Amino acid sequence: MAFTRGFHGRRRSDVDPARLPPGQYETNAFPVLSAGPTPHTPLEEWSFAIGGALGEARSWTWEEFTALPSETVTADIHCVTKWSKLDTSWKGVPVDVLLAGTEPRGRFAVAWCDGGYTTNLPLEDLTGGKAWVAYQYGGEPLAPEHGGPARLLVPRLYFWKSAKWLRGLNLADQDEPGFWESYGYHNRGDPWKEQRYWSD
């Protein structure tokens, strides 16, 4: 390992190192990473759709969506730009609820969003209690710059996979790189394996 002369760093004694993936540091702020302007979709125009390689497509209006069974989730989130935020609290609909009774034919999904952003995930990372479509953060409606009205929440992957301004999931039998994934970011993005970029 190459040391940096004179660098001591500012360790924080109160962080359990087992909760920070390699190369991450804890922040209490909530930084923002987005590729373009923040979209502002009125709730009357908002809907959520599940389509692609599954039996029957489904969609919900905002009212229908927020009436679905929801969960409150406390999770640590890890951004590829190195910050981690511990014990964040969200409310949202489990993806398992959205997919209940459907028969996905493939193993992949693309999350698509207002503003044209997409991100790809293996279905396995979206099901089994690992992913939600969140519309509250810290007990408040999710702010637009953090992805409101609703965003994907997949805490076990780097946070760009938790797509903001989410409008739907498209299931697929083939993996297709999403937005950041086609601009040099890792296809899967597991923070514990430090899968940040293509070369990782």
Partner 1 sequence: MLDVPGWPGHLAGQHVDVRLTAEDGYQAQRSYSIASPPESERLELTIERIEDGEVSSYLVDDARPGDVFELRGPIGGYFAWHAGLDGALALIGGGSGVVPLVAMLRHRRAVGAQTDARLLLSARTLEDVLYREQLRDLRDSSVAIHLTLTRVSAAPADWSDAWTRRIDREMVAELGPAPGADARFYVCGPTPFVEEAARLLVGLGHDARSVRTERFGPTGG
Ligand X SMILES: Cc1cc2nc3c(=O)[nH]c(=O)nc-3n(C[C@H](O)[C@H](O)[C@H](O)COP(=O)(O)OP(=O)(O)OC[C@H]3O[C@@H](n4cnc5c(N)ncnc54)[C@H](O)[C@@H]3O)c2cc1C
Contacts to ligand X by CB under 6 A: 29, 81
Type of residue found at 16: D
Residue 2, SS3?
Answer: coil
Two structure tokens written together for 137: 């953060």
CB of 169 vs ligand X, minimal distance in Å? 28
Type of residue found at 21: P
Give CA–CA dist 151/25, Å, rounded: 23
1 near partner 1, rule: CB under 8 A: yes
Using the rule CB under 8 A, give the single segment among 48-56, 66-74, 166-174, 181-189 that binds partner 1. 181-189
CA dist list (Å): 174 to 62, 95, 106: 30, 20, 7
How many residues bind partner 1, per CB under 8 A? 36
In the set 15, 26, 30, 68, which binds partner 1 (CB under 8 A)?
A: 30
Beta pairing partners, 137: 90, 140
Give CA–CA dist 183/198, Å, rounded: 9
CB of 59 vs partner 1, minimal distance in Å? 23
Give CA–CA dist 93/150, Å, rounded: 10
38 near partner 1, rule: CB under 8 A: yes
In the set 32, 57, 67, 100, which binds partner 1 (CB under 8 A)?
A: 32
In the set 14, 16, 18, 36, which binds partner 1 (CB under 8 A)?
A: 36
129 near partner 1, rule: CB under 8 A: no
Binding partner of 140, given ligand X, partner 1, none, CB within 5-8 angstroms per partner class: none
Placement of tokens 């040391």 in the chain: 3
- Please give the residue ranges that form the binding site for partner 1 (CB under 8 A): 1-11, 23, 25, 27, 29-39, 81-82, 115-116, 145, 179-180, 182-184, 197
